Amino acid sequence: MGVYSHTGLLRPNNEDAYCHCQLSSMNLLVVADGMGGHKAGEVASQLAIDRIKEYFEEHLLEAFDVQELLAQALLFANRGIYEQAADNLEFAGMGTTVTAALVKGKKAYLAHIGDSRAYLYRHGELFRLTADHNLVQQMLSNGEITEDEAYRHPQRNLLLNAMGTASKCEIDEDMVELQEGDLLLLCTDGLTSMLTDDELLVILQENLNPEQLAVRLVDAANDRGGQDNTTVIAALVTAEGQEVGM
């Protein structure tokens, strides 16, 4: 497991937050990218992480449906951020992206809100597992712009869905069957606004270990200008029954 989070070169503080923890026989990986004035972005992303972990700690033993547990944890986090924002003027309108992967056995359960991303790197190929909840992805899906135009679009930061900005949030859910040797990558848009998927692929093909890879990717984003906070979690799927190498 490799994790690296960096403020970047232009922002005064790091509004990204993350966690990776073992829960019984599962591994939980989460990245969150907060937004809001002053310190609100930092508060929102950290609150998301804390609330998701809290929910898991309280409900893990009673859960049969892991995908549902993950979705409920995100809804619990959404309520916490929304209530905090409603109660404090300084936090009004704050929100965060959340991309979470719960790895159990050879399955990764995904839950996602916003424009942080999950990728799967397998046999030298990179697959994007999440669709950004932003304007450019919508335009791309409608065939109005190309992938290259999306990458350079001036409004690429405009989110259509975030955690904490409304009393309820829409969560994308998915499940991926993992294979030994797969690499699961979670990242905030500080990485993907600086590097295209093709450029990520070139770095992944260097076959670094997860610790080196997380640092290498963040360094590459900073080499491009580091315009945003960048957070990367890289988890290698190891031998049968040992979900994610820690």
Strand 183-187 and strand 117-122: the pairing is antiparallel
Q: What is the 3-state secondary structure (H, E, C) of 87-117?
A: HCHHHCCCEEEEEEEEEECCEEEEEEECCCE
Contacts (CB under 5 A) with Ca ion, residues 204-243: 228
* Segment interacting with Ca ion, rule: CB under 5 A, options 58-66, 83-91, 161-169, 183-191: 183-191
* Segment interacting with Ca ion, rule: CB under 5 A, options 25-33, 164-172, 196-204, 212-220: 25-33
Q: Are 227 and 9 in contact (CB under 8 A)?
A: yes
C-alpha 75: how far from its chain's center?
16
Main-chain dihedrals φ then ψ at residue 126, nearest 5 degrees: -110, 130
Shortest Å, Cβ 177 to Ca ion: 30
Nearer to Ca ion (CB atom), residue 159 or residue 204: 159
132 binds Ca ion (CB under 5 A): no
Shortest Å, Cβ 25 to Ca ion: 32
Phi-psi region of 240 (alpha: psi -120 to 50; beta: other; left: phi over 0): beta
d(CA 160, CA 241) in angstroms, rounded, equals: 38
182 binds Ca ion (CB under 5 A): no
d(CA 104, CA 122) in angstroms, rounded, equals: 18
Q: Which of 91, 189, 210, 218 binds Ca ion (CB under 5 A)?
A: 189
Shortest Å, Cβ 42 to Ca ion: 12
42 binds Ca ion (CB under 5 A): no
Q: Which residue has the tokens 């989070």?
A: 5
Shortest Å, Cβ 41 to Ca ion: 9
Shortest Å, Cβ 33 to Ca ion: 4
Shortest Å, Cβ 202 to Ca ion: 22
Q: Which two tokens stand for residue 81?
A: 């951020």
Contacts (CB under 5 A) with Ca ion, residues 50-109: none
Shortest Å, Cβ 64 to Ca ion: 35
Helices 197-204 and 210-223: crossing angle, nearest 10°?
A: 140
* Segment interacting with Ca ion, rule: CB under 5 A, options 31-39, 65-73, 135-143, 178-186: 31-39
Q: Which of 33, 42, 132, 182 binds Ca ion (CB under 5 A)?
A: 33
Instruction: Looking at the chain, list the stretches that DSSP marks H as alpha helix, in order from N- to C-terminal side.
Output: 40-59, 66-87, 135-141, 147-152, 189-192, 197-204, 210-223
Nearer to Ca ion (CB atom), residue 122 or residue 128: 128
Contact residues toward Ca ion (CB under 5 A) are 33, 189, 228
